[in-house]
Amino acid sequence: MKYYIGIDIGGTSTTIGLVSQEGKISDRSVILIEGFASGPIEPFLDAIVDAIQALAKRKGVTIEGIGIGAPNGNFYNGTMEYAPNMPWKEVHEVAAYIEKRLSVKAVLTNDANAAAIGEKQFGVAKDMNDFILITLGTGLGSGIVAGGKVIYGHDGFAGELGHSIVVPGGRDCTCGRKGCLEAYVSIRGLLETYHAFEVGTVNTPQEIAMKAEAGEQAAIETFMKTGAWLGLKLADAAAYTSPEAIIFFGGIAQASDLFFPSLKETLEANVHNLYQNKIRIMRSGLPLNDAAVLGSAALVM
């Protein structure tokens, strides 16, 4: 059996998984970003290297390759570039650093692209060649697969639906512009939508979901609006690649019952009739947190 490493670099924690060639995570290690946030990136990358060595030693296996999913990850250069939710801005040669230290091939892509590859290799998109994967969390990430391939564009950054404008001149976005989809549909976006109803204060989308399930009108409408914003932008996205499905992944996606109905309604109301009633809206088939690890490993397999 061959073993690979799949790494999911996130804003609060990084998961390093030991993945077998058949797509099973047989062991994992988690590094909290907090402890490294005040310094340069190298100690953090060294901690990843240490964790990889420890996993390989514990299992007594040789690592065949390392795949990395990172925010603002550039597949072409193996770099993490100006990631807004990470402590290290600028451009960092993450893949090259890890590859050099371990003498094992390392490749890197955007975290949402990694999740899309994981979904295609091991999840609900196994038999699909054209789909869009949306990750809903701190931000809104998207990976677009067309003709069986992840779309990277000329510079490695294609498919950032989170930074397409849904409300011209609207809410401030972390990218410095106004009205991006991510400013409405993300953890921060959901909280802002809910707080605008002025019915109380919450700290997480899960709290809003619980209130919605208990019948609170403001919470119900928060999710309905969220679905409608998504549906509107996805109606546009449908025209670019004609996806068979749009798959949702991440913490907020757990509350899909609360926003899928308004999402589907708005999507169908705004999409060109060529695509009407053809696009499946689905939830990820992979356990939460696993898609990006599996996808990153699949990237290097």
Which residues lie near Zn ion (CB under 5 A)? 163, 173, 175, 180
Q: Sheet with 63-70: list strands edge to edge.
A: 25-32, 13-20, 3-9, 63-70, 106-110
Nearer to Zn ion, 158 or 175 (CB): 175
Closest distance of CB 232 from Zn ion, Å: 16
Rounded Cα gap, residues 104 and 32, in angstroms: 24
Query: If you search the block for the tokens 């990694």, which residue do you land on?
Result: 114
Closest distance of CB 140 from Zn ion, Å: 9
Dihedral of CA atoms 235, 236, 240, 246 in degrees, nearest 10, equals -40
Nearer to Zn ion, 92 or 163 (CB): 163
Nearer to Zn ion, 230 or 293 (CB): 230
From residue 30, alpha-carbon distances to 6, 87, 134 in Å are: 12, 17, 23
Nearer to Zn ion, 184 or 249 (CB): 184
Nearer to Zn ion, 84 or 251 (CB): 84
Nearer to Zn ion, 140 or 202 (CB): 140
Q: Are 8 and 66 in contact (CB under 8 A)?
A: no
Half-sphere exposure of 202 (CA within 13 A, CB side): 25
Rounded Cα gap, residues 75 and 294, in angstroms: 16
Q: Are 251 and 137 in contact (CB under 8 A)?
A: yes
